[in-house]
């Protein structure tokens, strides 16, 4: 049973530019970028562009694997001076260029807290509305993920992504 219509929407640290909230065991992120969706799609699927925006300021991201096809794998490793490297990885489940990307995401320190992430890109008048849904197996798993501060990292990453897509050539 889909409970998203009966459960409350809870703000999870929204910023002026990025709405971040949960409903049930899912997290949602919404952001509008001042760029056409093809350019935003490119930033999400080009292994040379992802390191320019993925992660908080002061981190370096290495794309170890990125096979953007159904069944293809991805793996990013984030490095920072104040902690050991951490990896994120998963598998692409659905690809509908340039409007929808569905994949699994696992944060290596918590391999049992996997999510299925759906990214939807909708273009309106040259701008792109990104809607991300991360579905977890339970509220408890969602709360473990929130305990890592990932929502703050996502908001900063989207701020960085705004700058990157603005600089990409049409």
Eight-class DSSP state of 46: -
- Note whether residue 3 is domain-resident: no
- pLDDT at 113 (0 to 100): 85
What is the full per-residue pLDDT of the chain (170 aa) written as tens digits?
A: 455 568 899 999 999 999 999 999 999 999 999 999 999 999 999 999 999 999 999 999 999 999 999 999 999 999 999 999 999 999 999 999 999 999 999 999 888 889 999 999 999 999 999 999 999 999 999 998 899 888 999 999 999 999 999 998 76
Is residue 51 exposed (0-12), middle (13-18) or buried (19+ Cβ within 10 Å)? middle
User: What element of type H or E holds 141?
Assistant: helix 139-146
Q: How many domains does the chain have?
A: 1
- Note whether residue 122 is domain-resident: yes
- Note whether residue 42 is domain-resident: yes
- Note whether residue 8 is domain-resident: no
- Note whether residue 80 is domain-resident: yes
> What pTM, to 2 d.p., does this model score?
0.92
Contacts of 104 (CB under 8 A, 6+ apart): 90, 91, 93, 114, 115, 116, 117
Secondary structure (3-state) at 42: helix
- Note whether residue 72 is domain-resident: yes
Smallest Cα–Cα separation from 53: which of 65, 64, 66, 40?
Answer: 40
Residue 39 sits in a domain whose CATH number is 3.30.530.20
- Note whether residue 131 is domain-resident: yes
Domain that holds residue 145: 13-167
- Note whether residue 1 is domain-resident: no
């Amino acid at each position: 049973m889909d409970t998203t219509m009966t459960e409350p929407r809870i703000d999870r640290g929204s910023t002026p530019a990025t709405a971040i909230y949960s409903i049930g065991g899912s997290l949602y992120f919404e952001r509008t970028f001042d760029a056409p969706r093809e350019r935003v799609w490119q930033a999400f699927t080009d292994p040379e562009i992802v390191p320019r925006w993925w992660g908080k300021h002061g981190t370096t991201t290495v794309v170890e694997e990125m096979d953007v096809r159904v069944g293809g794998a991805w793996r990013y490793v984030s490095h920072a001076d104040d902690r050991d490297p951490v990896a994120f990885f998963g598998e692409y489940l659905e690809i509908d260029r340039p409007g929808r990307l569905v994949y699994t995401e696992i944060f290596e320190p918590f391999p049992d807290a996997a999510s299925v992430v759906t990214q939807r890109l909708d273009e309106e008048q040259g701008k792109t509305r990104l809607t991300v849904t991360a579905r977890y197996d339970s509220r408890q798993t969602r709360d473990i993920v929130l305990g890592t501060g990932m929502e703050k990292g996502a908001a900063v990453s989207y701020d960085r992504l705004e700058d990157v897509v603005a600089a990409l050539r049409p």
